[in-house]
């Protein structure tokens, strides 16, 4: 039967071609595994469909026990706060910005739980979801615990923040936790926002310039920046999650604490060419009117009479940090706060050499110093 043979041979040839093609595609590295890129829209639909179908099929035959027992709901809530809320968020508290960048992003369960049957929720929570970051239940023998979480998930959509807090017995954070502990250990139960790890307890940052000094700034400026990070208006994958951990009152207290530190003297950068320093001094004290660049001092001077509390101090700040921020203003990486627009216009007019020069010059100034134009 030559026709059947030809058919079989063509199918086989197609299969081999497909396999080789798939291998070559994988080998080429053209498919992006970047979580930042998202999936192709079609793939997204297929993945969601596949996931839902798989859960539906695997949940067949699971018997749902009585889920109304308040103790069950409470036990579920207790676990949810520690085991699920960090990824999925909870009433009155969204998850960390680090988690928002996961692919797929863990959904808000208050919104998505109603789209599942109880037995499906049970299956997901017990077994987790492959390739997503959704973990399986740590102890596969304890179905009773998984049902407690399901009982809680059934209630979650009707729950407001106050009810959730009572259920998960979360105390509102004590506002009078000693400020040193706040700066050193972060808010209760989190180590993420321990400022001193990076900025020091005295706010002097690191001598390498890896982390900026906070001790030279006003409380108003520090507070405004923390709020901007928390709201995502100032972007930094390092500071945004930290700020998102803080309550507004804690931001205020930390801002006041760091602003009250006595500024350490400037760390003089080792080698700085005189030529660069001269350029830096001109920019700082006089600006370059013919390039449309006002003097930095006209806004950043520390003279209290001249100083707007929302304008940061630059004198004594690490050169690497200052240069980095200027580059960000210039490239558009720091432009979403109202005040940043003022700086973007200026930074766009600075050359790379001028940025280095002014950063080096400013780093050598004694914090709090006001440099007047030299005649």
How far apart are alpha carbons 131 and 27 in whole angstroms? 20
Q: What is the sign of the dihedral through the CA atoms of 343, 348, 350 and 351?
A: positive
Nearer to ligand HEC, 163 or 339 (CB): 339
Q: Which residues bind ligand HEC (CB under 6 A)?
A: 51, 83-84, 87-88, 102, 104, 106-107, 109, 112, 121, 124-125, 129, 132-135, 149, 193-195, 197-199, 211-212, 214, 217, 222, 225-226, 236, 238-239, 242, 246, 254, 283, 293-294, 296, 298-300, 311-312, 314, 322, 325-326, 337, 339-340, 342-343, 346, 358
Joined tokens for residue 370 = 């006001």
How far apart are alpha carbons 81 and 77 in whole angstroms? 6
Nearer to ligand HEC, 272 or 325 (CB): 325
Nearer to ligand HEC, 6 or 64 (CB): 64
Confirm if 96 and 190 have CB atoms less than 8 A apart: no
Residue 126 CB neighbour total at 10 angstroms: 21
Nearest approach, Cβ of 245 to ligand HEC (angstroms)? 7
Nearest approach, Cβ of 70 to ligand HEC (angstroms)? 18
Nearest approach, Cβ of 274 to ligand HEC (angstroms)? 19
Torsion angle, alpha carbons of 10, 16, 19, 23, to 10 = -140
Nearer to ligand HEC, 134 or 365 (CB): 134
> Looking up tokens 């030559």, which residue turns up?
2
How far apart are alpha carbons 300 and 273 in whole angstroms? 24
Joined tokens for residue 190 = 């989190």
- Tally the C-alpha atoms within 13 A of residue 87's C-alpha that lie toward its C-beta: 15
Joined tokens for residue 255 = 């801002």
Nearest approach, Cβ of 253 to ligand HEC (angstroms)? 9
Nearest approach, Cβ of 304 to ligand HEC (angstroms)? 17
* 97, 103, 190, 193, 253 from 238: Cα distances, Å: 10, 19, 15, 10, 20
Confirm if 120 and 55 have CB atoms less than 8 A apart: yes
Nearest approach, Cβ of 2 to ligand HEC (angstroms)? 48
Nearer to ligand HEC, 11 or 278 (CB): 278
Nearer to ligand HEC, 27 or 176 (CB): 176
The answer to whether the peptide bond before residue 65 is cis (omega within 30 degrees of 0) is: no
Q: Look at the chain and count its residues.
A: 375
Nearer to ligand HEC, 8 or 205 (CB): 205
Nearest approach, Cβ of 12 to ligand HEC (angstroms)? 35
Nearer to ligand HEC, 198 or 370 (CB): 198
Nearest approach, Cβ of 9 to ligand HEC (angstroms)? 40
């Amino acid at each position: 039967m030559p026709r059947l043979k030809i058919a079989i041979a063509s199918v086989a040839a197609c299969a081999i071609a497909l396999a080789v093609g798939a291998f070559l595609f994988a080998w080429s590295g053209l498919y992006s595994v970047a979580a930042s890129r998202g999936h192709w829209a079609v793939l997204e639909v297929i993945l969601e469909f596949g996931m839902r179908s798989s859960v539906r099929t695997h949940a067949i035959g699971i018997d749902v026990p009585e889920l109304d027992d308040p103790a069950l709901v409470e036990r579920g809530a207790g676990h949810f706060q520690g085991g699920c809320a960090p990824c999925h968020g909870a009433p009155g508290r969204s998850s960390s910005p680090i988690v928002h960048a996961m692919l797929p992003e863990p959904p808000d369960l208050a919104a998505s739980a109603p789209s599942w049957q109880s037995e499906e929720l049970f299956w997901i929570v017990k077994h987790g979801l492959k390739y997503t970051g959704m973990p399986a239940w740590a102890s596969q023998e304890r179905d009773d615990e998984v049902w407690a979480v399901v009982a809680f998930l059934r209630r979650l959509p009707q729950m407001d923040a106050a009810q959730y807090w009572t259920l998960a017995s979360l105390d509102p954070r004590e506002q009078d936790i000693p400020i040193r502990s706040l700066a050193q250990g972060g808010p209760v139960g989190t180590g993420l926002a321990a400022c001193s790890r990076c900025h020091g307890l005295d706010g002097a940052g690191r001598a390498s310039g890896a982390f900026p000094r906070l001790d030279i700034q006003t409380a108003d400026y520090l507070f405004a920046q923390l709020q901007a990070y928390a709201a995502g208006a100032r972007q930094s994958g390092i500071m945004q999650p930290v700020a998102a951990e803080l309550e507004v009152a804690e931001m205020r207290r930390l801002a006041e604490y760091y602003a009250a530190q006595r500024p350490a003297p400037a760390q003089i950068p080792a080698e700085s060419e005189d030529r660069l320093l001269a350029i830096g001094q001109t920019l700082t004290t006089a600006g370059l009117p013919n390039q449309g660049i006002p003097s930095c001092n006209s806004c950043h001077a520390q003279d209290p009479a001249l100083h707007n509390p929302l304008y940061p101090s630059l004198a004594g700040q690490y050169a690497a940090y200052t240069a980095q921020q200027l580059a960000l203003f210039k490239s558009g990486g720091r432009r979403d706060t109202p005040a940043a627009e003022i700086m973007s216009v200026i930074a766009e007019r600075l050359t790379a050499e001028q940025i280095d020069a002014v950063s080096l010059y400013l780093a050598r100034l004694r914090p709090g110093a006001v440099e007047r134009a030299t005649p």
